């Protein structure tokens, strides 16, 4: 493996992954940079199913190694919702503010001790030959009563998710602080460890 295609059109995610994988000597490309401008339908029942589906789609289109991630938040008092529907449960065009408003409305009247939640992320790696691996990151915390912090584009829940052991929401942390503990950071670190230990990377 000389290069890896990340099944995303989000250049912010690609930048993060390039920084993380820098020492492996891999060239990291976005889906767009690899000439893939379409996405498969994310209709999996789990984060792992969706991540694998996205990575396999890239492999089918390019014949190269691919990686994809799928993430979401699970709220205890809502029986694990929104889960895989994290980005869409308030409606297709709700936007970041609509998602926050919907989440807080769903938890209206729920006391603080019952506002537990966890962020989940699964990173899937698929080879040109169809072999597949999945790496999961989980971070527990709670949903705050009001939004706090500086919003990040397309990451609305950062304003209302407070990780266990911290007195701040993700949105009140720097990128470095958040990435050091985040669910996505955990999953990508596991991917990095796997790639470092395998003989699939050739600089």
What CA–CA distances, in Å, run from 47 to 74, 145, 157?
A: 11, 27, 17
Core vs surface per residue 124-148: b (16+ CB within 10 A) or e? bbbeeeeebbbbebebebbbbeebe
For residues 120 and 136, the answer to whether their CB atoms sit within 8 Å is: yes
User: In the annotation, is 96 catalytic?
Assistant: no
Closest CA to 63 of 23, 9, 5: 5
Catalytic residue (one of 70, 79, 158, 175): 70
Q: Which single residue is written with the structure tokens 């890896």?
A: 4
Give the residue numbers marked as catalytic: 70
């Amino acid at each position: 493996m000389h290069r890896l295609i990340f099944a995303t059109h989000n250049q912010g995610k690609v930048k993060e992954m390039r920084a993380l994988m820098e020492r492996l000597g891999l060239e990291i490309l976005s889906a767009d940079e690899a000439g893939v401008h379409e996405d498969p339908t994310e209709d999996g029942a789990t984060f792992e199913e969706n991540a694998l589906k996205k990575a396999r789609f890239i492999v089918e289109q390019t014949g190269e190694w691919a990686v994809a991630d799928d993430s979401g938040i699970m709220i205890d008092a809502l029986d694990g919702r929104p889960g895989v529907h994290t980005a869409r449960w308030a409606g297709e065009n709700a936007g970041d503010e609509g998602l926050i408003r919907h989440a807080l409305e769903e938890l209206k009247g729920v006391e603080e001790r019952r506002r537990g939640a966890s962020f989940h992320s699964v990173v899937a790696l698929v080879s040109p030959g169809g072999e597949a691996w999945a790496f999961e990151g989980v971070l527990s915390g709670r949903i705050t009563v009001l939004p706090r912090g500086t919003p990040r584009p397309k990451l609305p829940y950062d304003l209302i998710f407070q990780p266990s052991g911290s007195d701040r929401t993700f949105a009140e942390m720097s990128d470095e602080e958040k990435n050091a503990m985040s669910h996505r950071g955990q999953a990508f670190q596991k991917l990095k460890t796997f790639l470092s230990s395998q003989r699939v990377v050739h600089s």
